[in-house]
């Protein structure tokens, strides 16, 4: 059912991009909207692809095709804004397969949603998973969401904003100093400047999320945080100096702490356990993400810190193996929506 918007524009909505049309992104976006039905949610993507997702999920849900991203839809209608320039045959691409058309369309939706936010017509962006190979096949030079978002948010001189990845759930927030590099390279990237920059980005993001004085724990790199230099000197040479500098800037940073216990200290699961810290800065990808994912990947949210906009996403990929089956769990997408609301309130 094609039902255009007849209501006036609403206050700045949250925009949910469809992700890769051949993966589970459209399904979890529709399923999360059906759970939430918030008046502030808009789906960004191909109308036919979202209609297919509605059918896969077995929902009796009319689709409202919006002329503008911030239009209001009639009650109980799925609000979809289709940006111009999407491939005409997108819904014909086979599910569960890498598609250049799907990669190009996913990027186009992200670009359009970012432009809406930059124009002040949206307050936050929630992105469904994309596929890096499809993105490349679609002619997109950027390897993933983060790099594309950085490029879209570059300043007038082309300078990219420094960003960090935060993975969070209801019990734990972790921000990473290094991300997708070999472990040998990650150790070389742990410098005083990089750790300090991570602390500054984390402090700003948590304050924007409503924490007046965020408490940040810093994990060491080595066992027992180096044990005074017995097991490595990175803590002495780089991590501790960065913490000291951060504290002179008014950042409530502590550590470095032994990485095998600091996450337990920061875990916030009342009434059994009240966390000592609001976030942990971890040195490497696996050091930081294993504890968060162990607590429940279905509730994990990926947040890109350092951008001049709010962006969250589910903590999983396109799941080509179950695309089109209706079995995809929308819990992480629902959590990403909740976090986007909290960070943009």
Question: Do residue 169 and residue 228 come from a single domain?
Answer: yes
Q: Average pLDDT of 38-57? A: 96
Q: Is residue 44 part of a domain?
A: yes
Question: Do residue 107 and residue 243 come from a single domain?
Answer: no
Question: Do residue 151 and residue 173 come from a single domain?
Answer: no
pLDDT tier at 273 (50, 70, 90 boundaries)? confident
DSSP 55-116: HHTT---PEEEESSTTPBPPTTSEEEE--TT--TTGGGSPTTS--HHHHHHHHHHHHHHHHH
pLDDT at 342 over 50: yes
Q: Is residue 23 part of a domain?
A: yes
The span from the CA of 341 to the CA of 59, in Å, is 25
Element (H, E) at 164: strand 164-168
Element (H, E) at 197: helix 192-208
Q: What is the count of structural domains for the chain? A: 2
pLDDT tier at 4 (50, 70, 90 boundaries)? very low
Question: Do residue 140 and residue 189 come from a single domain?
Answer: no
> Residue 191 burial (CB < 10 Å; 0-12/13-18/19+)?
middle
The span from the CA of 281 to the CA of 274, in Å, is 18
pLDDT at 8 over 50: no
Q: Which of 99, 122, 100 is nearest to 43 (CA)?
A: 122
Question: Do residue 245 and residue 288 come from a single domain?
Answer: yes
Q: Which of 130, 143, 198, 195 is nearest to 165 (CA)?
A: 198
Identify the CATH number of the domain in which residue 278 sits: 3.40.718.10
Number of H helices, E strands in the chain: 12, 12
pLDDT tier at 10 (50, 70, 90 boundaries)? low
pLDDT tier at 156 (50, 70, 90 boundaries)? confident
Terminal alpha carbon distance of the chain:
33
Question: Do residue 276 and residue 155 come from a single domain?
Answer: no
Question: Do residue 260 and residue 320 come from a single domain?
Answer: no
pLDDT tier at 5 (50, 70, 90 boundaries)? very low
Domain that holds residue 68: 14-161+308-344
Question: Do residue 231 and residue 287 come from a single domain?
Answer: yes
Question: Do residue 18 and residue 157 come from a single domain?
Answer: yes
Question: Do residue 237 and residue 99 come from a single domain?
Answer: no
């Amino acid at each position: 059912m094609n039902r255009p918007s007849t209501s006036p524009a609403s206050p700045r909505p949250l925009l949910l991009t469809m992700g890769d049309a051949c993966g589970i992104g459209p399904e979890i976006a529709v399923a999360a909207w059906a759970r939430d039905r918030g008046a502030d949610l808009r789906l960004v993507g191909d109308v036919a692809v979202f209609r297919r997702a509605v059918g896969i999920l077995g929902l009796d849900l009319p689709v409202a095709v919006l002329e503008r991203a911030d239009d209001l839809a009639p009650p109980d209608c799925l609000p979809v804004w289709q940006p111009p320039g999407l491939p005409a045959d997108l819904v014909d691409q086979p599910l569960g397969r890498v598609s250049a058309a799907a990669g190009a369309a996913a990027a186009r939706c992200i670009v359009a949603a970012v432009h809406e936010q930059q124009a002040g017509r949206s307050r936050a962006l929630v992105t469904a998973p994309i596929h890096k190979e499809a993105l490349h096949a679609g002619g997109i030079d950027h390897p993933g969401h983060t790099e594309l978002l950085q490029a879209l948010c570059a300043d007038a001189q082309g300078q990219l904003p420094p960003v960090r990845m935060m993975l969070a759930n209801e019990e734990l927030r972790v921000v990473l100093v290094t991300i997708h590099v070999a472990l040998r390279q990650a150790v070389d990237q742990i410098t005083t400047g990089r750790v300090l920059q991570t602390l500054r980005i984390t402090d700003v993001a948590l304050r924007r999320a409503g924490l007046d004085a965020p408490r940040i724990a810093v994990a060491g790199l080595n066992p027992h945080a180096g044990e005074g230099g017995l097991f490595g000197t990175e803590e002495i040479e780089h991590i501790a100096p960065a913490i000291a500098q951060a504290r002179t800037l008014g950042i409530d940073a502590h550590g470095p702490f032994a990485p095998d216990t600091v996450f337990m200290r920061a875990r916030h699961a009342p009434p059994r356990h009240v966390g000592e810290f609001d976030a942990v800065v971890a040195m490497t990808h696996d050091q930081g993400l294993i504890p968060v994912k162990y607590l429940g990947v279905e509730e994990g949210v990926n947040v890109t810190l350092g951008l001049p906009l709010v962006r969250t996403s589910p903590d999983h990929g396109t799941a080509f193996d179950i695309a089109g089956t209706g079995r995809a769990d929308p819990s992480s997408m629902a959590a990403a929506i909740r976090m986007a609301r909290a960070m943009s309130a």
